[in-house]
Structure formats: structure tokens, C-alpha cells
């Protein structure tokens, strides 16, 4: 057992896999969530837990008959995708710079979007449901179309990695882009307004919630599921482009069959059965890890990442961490590290090495080895990866 029950005076216990004492603000945030009347059994905190908005990033929250939009967050469906390719790293020798340039030309990053919308995007069946969304979102359909197959910014990335046996892996991290953000903000604001009108006392305004079987809950659930589907397909569109680029360089454009495909959310909510009860499970910076579920736990742009298989640990609601977790804020990272630090910490990686990505320097994140050691009861490691190429959002 690698978790501890935190010494918090709350109706629902808080189980932590962090392996260290939480800071005062982190403890208060955990206490706020565990004090809500609809929380089921306990709250689980993953090894990479850190401050978020309303709820800690790295929280797994099971609830009965209610959902907290801000606990899911604004990047609905954010997650990871990885392919194990059927060749080894020697096939990439001398080609990484060209591949990076082609990735940057083919996949928009930051606030950029696609100039042309490809057929696979326009044919996505999710657009049929899009017309049912409220008018405030439907007007954004054009932007959502053009952003499908784009990376976004922040800690989103595209990587080519090698495992311990020199096998090549393609990996990326992204979510539901602008449309997911707009959906989330709309429902977060609605929940806050309802709480205000009903004079509901909350420990934090960002914990405003919807009650099941109400029109507001139903609207949020519909939009949440749609945005999660958008995010999953967005990753697939980018991965297809990335795969074609690599195939062109190593196989003359011949399609290659991946040995393993993993595509998992880590900011989302679903209905699941735990302890013989159907509940809503919100994973805010956590990956589902039922027995034999495959998951992805990335480090940072200069650290190892892991492909894992879940062990189905009931106390964690069958969950594991979604990454290393930030050790310091972006602003603090920019003040703490120099360009020389970035160059040193990303040695051997084909990537940007400029001031624009200092906030993503490996030193700004928790040591991934320590995070992995805290969840040996949650997952088993399938492959350990080290990136040789990284494109940041």
C-alpha cells in the first residue's frame, strides 16, 4: 500500500499517493472537495498532485447525483496518444531535424489552426451532434473544424521516443482546443450563477456543481461527452499526420502497422461502477487504470515517460497519475532557469531551445522516477521511453 489517509477533518476521507506532505493551499483544496455532501466514499490524490482551480490537479473524485464542471477543467478530454512503431531507432539516424521541421509545418501549434480542413475531419460523425449544441457554441463550428488536428499550447507536445529495446514510439499530448474551453467556461459560469441564485454556501466558488436530472446537468453532460470525443479524435488526426511524416522518412511512404495503440484521457468524467455503486468519476489530471487498461504517463521534454498497464486498484477508483506534475509555476520557472539550463536539460533531444519554452524545462517538473515509485500498486510499467524529438505547443 503506497497511499496514506490525510489528517483532514472532512466527511469523506482523502487518500493520497503523493508520498509527501501537502502544502497548506493543497491541503485546503483537498479539504474543500472532500467536504462536499455528494462526494462518494473518499477522494483519491495521485502521486503528481498539485494546485489546480477548485480541485487539485491529480484528483480522482467520485460523486453521486452531481458533477463539478471546474473539477473536470477547461481542457475537456485532454489526454495522450502513443503508437509503438515496428522499427528501431537506427532508422531515424540523421533524419530528426527534417522530421521536426515537417511536423511543425503539418501540425499547427499554439493558437494556430489548419488552413485547410481535410476529409477525415469533415466526415467526423461528431459534427452531426454539433448542431444540437446551444447557439453560443454552434457559432464556433468553423473554428472547431479548423482546430481539429492542432496541438495547442502550454504543456502540449508531440514526441518521438525510444524504449529500452530501441523501439520507436510516436507520442502526443493534447485536448479539445478552443471549443472545449468555451464549453467548459459556459457551464462553469452557469453553475456559479445557479449557486448564487440558490444561495448555496460553497467552500470555493469554483466548486459550483450541477445536480443530476436537471436541465443544466443534462446540458453539461451532453457537451462534456461531445468535447471528450472531439479531443480523442483530435489526437488521432494529429497522430495520423505524424505517422505519415515518419513513414515517408523511414519507409518511403509505405504505411506501417503499429504494434500497440494507446489513446487515453486524463481530464474528464464518466459513469463507472465502484464499490458496487454507479457513480460519476471525475479524473482531473489522472488516467483510468482498470486491470489491463493501457495508459501513458509522460515526464517532461527531457525526462523519461512510461507506457503502463493498470492494476485495477479499487481505492484509487482504478486510476493513476497523468504525468510528473509541476514542481513550480510557469512564472517561477522562467525566473529560476536560464537558456543554458534548458540546453543542458534537453541535451540529446531535437527540440526548440529558446526562451519561449523555458517554462516547460524538465526542472520545473517533479522527478518522474519518484512519481512512478509511488504508484507501483496502481500500474505496472510496460515500456520506459526517452524522447529523441520534441515539438512543444
Instruction: Read off the pLDDT of residues 155-175 as tens digits, 9 standing for 90 and up.
Output: 999 999 999 999 999 999 999
- Cα of 94 vs its chain's centroid, Å: 32
User: Mean pLDDT, the chain, as a whole number?
Assistant: 94
Q: Which are the catalytic amino acids?
A: 322
Is 267 annotated in some ligand binding site? yes
What pLDDT was estimated at residue 301? 85
Is position 332 annotated in a ligand binding site? no
Instruction: Report which secondary-structure segment, H or E, holds 383.
Output: strand 379-392
Tens digits of residue pLDDT in 305-338? 999 999 999 999 999 999 988 888 889 999 999 9
Consult the annotation and say whether 156 binds a ligand: yes
Confidence (pLDDT) at 181: 95
- What pTM did the predictor assign? 0.94
pLDDT of 136 above 60: no
Task: Specify the pLDDT at position 166.
Answer: 98
Q: Does the annotation flag 52 for ligand binding?
A: no
pLDDT in tens, 228-275: 999 999 999 999 999 999 999 999 999 999 999 999 999 999 999 999
- 287: pLDDT confidence band, cut at 50, 70 and 90? very high
Which residue has better confidence, 381 or 1? 381
Per-residue pLDDT band at 211 (split at 50, 70, 90): very high
Q: What confidence score (pLDDT) does residue 134 get?
A: 55
Nearest to 356 by CA among 108, 196, 195, 153: 153
Q: Is a pLDDT exceeding 70 seen at residue 368?
A: yes
| Per-domain residue ranges of the chain | 4-327+365-392
Side-chain half-sphere exposure of 4, counting CA atoms within 13 A: 10
Sheet order of strands, 79-88 included = 260-265, 79-88, 167-174, 157-162, 379-392, 304-310, 294-297
Query: Is residue 210 a contact partner of residue 69, using CB atoms and an 8 Å limit?
Result: yes
Whole-angstrom distance, CA of residue 197 vs CA of residue 354: 48
Q: Is 313 annotated as a binding residue?
A: no
The 8-class DSSP code of residue 294 comes to E
CA of 94: how far to CAs of 249, 294, 301, in Å? 10, 32, 20
What is the CA angle 85-296-273, rounded to 5?
125
Q: Give CATH for domain 4-327+365-392.
A: 3.90.1860.10
Give 83's pLDDT tier (boundaries 50, 70, 90).
very high
Measured between alpha carbons, how far is 14 from 76 in angstroms, rounded to an integer? 24
Amino acid at each position: 500500500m503506497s497511499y496514506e489517509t490525510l489528517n483532514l477533518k472532512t466527511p469523506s476521507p482523502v487518500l493520497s499517493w503523493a508520498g509527501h506532505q501537502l502544502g497548506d493551499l493543497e491541503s485546503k483544496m483537498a479539504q474543500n472537495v472532500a467536504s462536499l455532501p455528494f462526494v462518494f466514499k473518499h477522494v483519491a490524490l495521485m502521486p503528481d498532485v498539485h494546485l489546480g482551480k477548485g480541485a487539485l490537479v491529480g484528483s480522482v473524485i467520485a460523486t453521486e447525483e452531481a458533477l463539478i464542471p471546474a473539477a473536470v477543467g477547461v481542457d475537456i478530454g485532454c489526454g495522450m496518444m502513443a503508437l509503438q512503431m515496428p522499427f528501431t531507432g537506427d532508422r531515424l539516424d540523421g533524419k530528426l531535424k527534417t522530421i521536426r521541421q515537417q511536423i511543425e509545418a503539418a501540425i499547427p501549434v499554439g493558437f494556430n489552426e489548419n488552413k485547410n480542413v481535410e476529409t477525415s475531419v469533415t466526415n467526423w460523425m461528431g459534427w452531426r451532434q454539433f448542431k444540437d449544441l446551444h447557439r453560443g457554441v454552434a457559432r464556433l463550428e468553423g473554428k472547431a473544424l479548423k482546430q481539429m488536428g492542432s496541438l495547442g499550447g502550454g504543456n502540449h507536445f508531440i514526441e518521438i521516443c525510444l524504449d529500452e529495446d530501441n523501439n520507436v514510439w510516436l507520442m502526443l499530448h493534447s485536448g479539445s482546443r478552443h471549443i472545449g474551453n468555451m464549453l467548459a467556461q459556459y457551464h462553469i459560469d452557469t453553475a456559479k450563477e445557479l449557486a448564487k441564485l440558490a444561495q448555496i454556501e460553497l467552500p470555493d466558488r469554483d466548486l459550483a456543481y450541477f445536480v443530476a436530472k436537471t436541465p443544466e446537468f443534462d446540458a453539461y453532460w451532453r457537451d462534456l461527452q461531445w468535447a471528450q470525443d472531439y479531443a480523442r479524435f483530435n489526437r488521432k488526426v494529429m497522430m495520423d499526420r505524424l505517422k505519415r511524416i515518419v513513414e515517408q522518412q523511414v519507409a518511403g511512404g509505405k504505411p506501417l502497422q503499429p504494434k500497440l495503440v494507446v489513446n487515453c484521457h486524463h481530464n474528464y468524467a464518466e459513469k463507472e461502477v465502484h464499490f458496487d455503486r454507479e457513480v460519476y468519476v471525475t479524473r482531473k489530471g489522472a488516467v483510468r487504470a482498470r486491470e489491463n487498461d493501457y495508459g501513458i504517463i509522460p515526464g517532461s521534454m527531457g525526462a523519461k515517460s512510461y507506457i503502463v498497464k493498470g492494476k485495477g486498484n479499487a481505492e484509487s477508483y482504478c486510476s493513476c497519475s497523468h504525468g510528473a506534475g509541476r514542481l513550480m509555476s510557469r512564472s517561477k520557472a522562467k525566473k529560476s532557469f536560464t537558456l543554458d539550463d534548458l540546453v543542458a536539460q534537453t541535451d540529446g533531444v531535437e527540440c526548440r531551445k529558446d526562451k519561449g519554452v523555458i517554462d516547460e524545462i524538465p526542472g520545473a517538473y517533479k522527478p518522474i522516477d519518484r512519481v512512478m515509485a509511488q504508484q507501483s500498486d496502481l500500474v505496472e510499467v510496460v515500456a520506459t521511453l526517452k524522447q529523441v524529438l520534441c515539438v512543444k505547443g
